[in-house]
Amino acid sequence: MKGIVFTEFLEMVESKFGLETLDNIIENGQLPSEGIYTSVGTYDFNEMVTLITNLSEETNIPVGDLIYAFGLYLFAGLANSHPEVIKNYNTPLGLLYCIEDHIHVHVKKLYPDAELPSFKVLDKTDTSISMVYSSSRGLYRLAHGLIEKAFEHFGGTATITYDLLKEDGTEVKFDIVQNG
């Protein structure tokens, strides 16, 4: 997993839960990188799992809810670090439609070792889109947060529902309907 995801995660922990919580989740000797990440580095996904599990124990907030909150936080971090990746889109549905074939393709050029999910579009109208998220990492709650913020980025909102096609969350269908 790319370092930018780790640096954004630690930033979120500090801003939402404070420095003490941040120290507690990294200073327990379980992390090979000892909580030190650079945005261009690549780290084991298990380190992220450890950080989120520790945060969940520390805050008593379920892991899934923390991953969703991180998705909400991460969108702005990605958009600000790489404005060129999203500057050509003028609607949230247009952006979502292009994650697989443009956005993440661009990300792969920036970070050749990025491990990205796939988003297969099943159906798109002027006001809605249905797509299937697949990834061995099962970060569909992260996708949910990112999708929600994509709408806010353009000044809108959406009703987002999802169905787990596989129980472990490695394949999840999203139905997204723009509000208003």
Summarize as ranges the residues that interact with ligand HEM (CB under 6 A). 1-2, 4-5, 78-79, 82, 85-86, 96, 99, 103-104, 107, 111, 114-117, 135, 137, 139, 142-143, 146-147, 150
CA 30 – CA 19 distance, rounded (Å) = 19
Shortest CB 20 distance to ligand HEM, Å: 27
138 phi-psi bin (left φ>0, alpha ψ -120 to 50, beta other): left
Q: What is the DSSP letter of 155?
A: T
| Residue 22 or 171 with smaller CB distance to ligand HEM | 171
Shortest CB 114 distance to ligand HEM, Å: 4
| Residue 29 or 32 with smaller CB distance to ligand HEM | 32
| Residue 60 or 80 with smaller CB distance to ligand HEM | 80
Instruction: Give the three-state DSSP class for 167.
Output: coil
CA 160 – CA 128 distance, rounded (Å) = 10
